[in-house]
Structure 1
Amino acid sequence: MDVRQMIESITRELLQSMNGSQEKRPKWLFIFCDSTAHEPFADQFIALQNHGICHDILFLDGETSSWLGMHRIECGGAGKIIATDEYAPAPLELPKEYDGIAIPEIDLDNAARVATGLKGTIKAEIIFSALVLGKPVLVGEDVPGIKRADRRCLRTLSLPGPYRTLFLRHLDGMRELGVEFAAQNGMADAIIRKQEDVQREVVLAGSGEHAPQSRQPVAAKLVTADWVQSQADFPDQMLILRHGAIVSPLAMDVLKEKGIVVRYVR
């Protein structure tokens, strides 16, 4: 073992011993398209820190490679080993270490892979792993569906109509699998609410109490705009659905206008 490895090993042990006596804080993994995409989220990171929520940032170096700290992670496709240094985890392993995954921007290619159960990219593999492990996945909903690199190359900001329709269809498929969506500028608020709900459920479970009836999921499997309009009100400005429930695009627009947040529970 060389000096660098020895110092790193000692540092890891010291940090682990220091953290062992502290209360475990929730930690989310943010996945960004490149090393500059995180800059508009600085205030949201401060909000998370103020609420005791930690976060790591994964910078995508391309469709099949990324950087987590100093470690380079590579995805070679299904059935292959995905790591280029001895400490780098495979994309499938990452969700094990986090309480949730936040992806501010998703594109048509990755949305199609997730909705159809395919792998082959960092985002698709991490989302697959997180959903299998029962970890929450939060994705930005107000995105154009075209990659940042493609926007710069093609000098366009949005997909043409047919591709946009296809993109929205894949987003509905992701919702069916359990992926949750929130506005990019409200992702921190959505994470904070989710962690507060988790903490509340833990407290209720410890006390033997049950959550109030108003927070029970709606039984509807398909939420339409007419159904949303027919409801007198939504407790806490929130619509709680079970995983697998489908919200039509028009219904989602009506919910946004009313300021209703959609949550999925198992």
Structure 2
Amino acid sequence: MDVRQMIESITREILQSMSTPQEKKPKWLFIFCDSTAHEAFTDQFIALQNHGICHDILFLDGETSSWLGMHRIECAGAGKIIATDEYAPAPLELPKEYDGIVIPEIDLDNAARVVAGLKGSIKAEVIFSALVLGKPVLVGEDVPGIKRSDRRCLKALSLPGPYQKLFQRHVNDMKELGIEFAAQKGLADAIIRKNRVSLPNHEPGSGGQQPVTAKLLTADWVKAQSEFTEDKLVLRQGAIVSPLAMDLLKEKGVAVRYVR
């Protein structure tokens, strides 16, 4: 076996045996009124996944209780239980783990709580915590302002005129607090745009070119590239280029640059 091939094989085995830290992906929390409200958002979840954005879903089964995975979360007053199992976070703690909060549908009651700075419901506490932490909050704008459960119970699809005006005033006040509104069908697009803006356009020495995420570049990897659009290849510091791969890059006139 050629010495270079042997070194490349050994390097590959060492890297595969090492537990390399995974690149942190952005993750957003969706809060739905019940366990069926998310079904209309399946395509949006796929779009987020295709753009490398993760998401969790919080299902509400009341004003003060919800489910995140298998953990039941409770929202109650001071001195009362706020989480029914030891692994469930309190509502105020939830935004700490996410890059943003999405509430596809908000109602008059929760909008009033948010504007007045009141707690007492899951949505109100999560929004309060996210705004205090400087996390983005995205809310669906094309909503009737009346809860899904109230619509089913009262057989009414919208609020009466005076309540509609009150709800719209609360929406305007929520915007002043920094809450963003978007159409329900465009929530995923809004999240994708926000994550693009939060990413740097370029890094020093990269000339605007996005670094390759691969940890090990082999000769096979170089051969698999149909063509190189630029005369340089930008890699993250710590990435390894095998000797055979480096020779092929030189033959193609491609220089290697490292960025942090």
**Alignment TM-score > 0.5, same fold:** yes
2:125 corresponds to: 125
- 2:172 is matched by which residue type in structure 1? D
Give the Cα–Cα distance (whole angstroms) in 2 for the partners of residues 153 and 207 of structure 1. 59
Give the Cα–Cα distance (whole angstroms) in 2 for the partners of residues 120 and 87 of structure 1. 21
CA shift digits 1:217-260 (9 cap, x unpaired): xxxxxxxxxxxxxxxxxxxxxxxxxxxxxxxxxxxxxxxxxxxx
Equivalent pairs counted in the alignment come to 188
Shift of 1:63: 0.4
CA shift digits 1:20-75 (9 cap, x unpaired): 61100000000000000000000000000000000000000100000000000000
Larger Rg: 2
1:111 corresponds to: 111
1:69 corresponds to: 69
Give the Cα–Cα distance (whole angstroms) in 2 for the partners of residues 108 and 20 of structure 1. 48
* 1:92–1:126 Cα contact (<8 Å) kept: yes
- 2:174 is matched by which residue type in structure 1? M
* 1:27–1:98 Cα contact (<8 Å) kept: yes
* 1:81–1:90 Cα contact (<8 Å) kept: no
TM-score by length of 2: 0.70
Listed as ranges, the matches of 1:33-182 within 5 Å are: 33-77=33-77, 80-182=80-182
Shift of 1:134: 0.2
- 1:120 is matched by which residue type in structure 2? G
- 1:156 is matched by which residue type in structure 2? A
1:192 paired with 2:192, answer yes
- 1:68 is matched by which residue type in structure 2? L
Change over 3 Å in CA distance of 1:119–1:20 after alignment to 2: farther
Give the Cα–Cα distance (whole angstroms) in 2 for the partners of residues 102 and 19 of structure 1. 33
Shift of 1:207: 4.2
Q: What SS is found at the alignment partner of 1:94?
A: helix
- 1:95 is matched by which residue type in structure 2? P
Shift of 1:77: 2.9
Gaps of 5+ in 1: 1-17, 209-266
Following TM superposition, the consecutive aligned residue runs of length 4 or more in structure 1 with deviations greater than 4 angstroms are 78-81
CA shift digits 1:51-105 (9 cap, x unpaired): 0000000000100000000000000135644101010000000000000000000
- 1:190 is matched by which residue type in structure 2? A
1:23 paired with 2:23, answer yes
Give the Cα–Cα distance (whole angstroms) in 2 for the partners of residues 126 and 171 of structure 1. 17
TM-score by length of 1: 0.68
Give the Cα–Cα distance (whole angstroms) in 2 for the partners of residues 143 and 19 of structure 1. 46
Give the Cα–Cα distance (whole angstroms) in 2 for the partners of residues 143 and 47 of structure 1. 22
Change over 3 Å in CA distance of 1:80–1:192 after alignment to 2: same
* 1:77–1:119 Cα contact (<8 Å) kept: no
* 1:78–1:120 Cα contact (<8 Å) kept: no
Give the Cα–Cα distance (whole angstroms) in 2 for the partners of residues 113 and 39 of structure 1. 27
Gaps of 5+ in 2: 1-17, 206-260
Change over 3 Å in CA distance of 1:126–1:73 after alignment to 2: same
Change over 3 Å in CA distance of 1:79–1:182 after alignment to 2: farther
CA RMSD of aligned residues (A): 1.7
Listed as ranges, the matches of 1:211-250 within 5 Å are: none
Shift of 1:156: 0.6
CA shift digits 1:101-125 (9 cap, x unpaired): 0000000000000011100000000
Give the Cα–Cα distance (whole angstroms) in 1 for the partners of residues 162 and 55 of structure 2. 36
Q: Could you tell me the percent identity over the aligned residues?
A: 81
CA shift digits 1:165-215 (9 cap, x unpaired): 000000111111100000000000000000000013xx46x549xxxxxxx
- 1:165 is matched by which residue type in structure 2? K
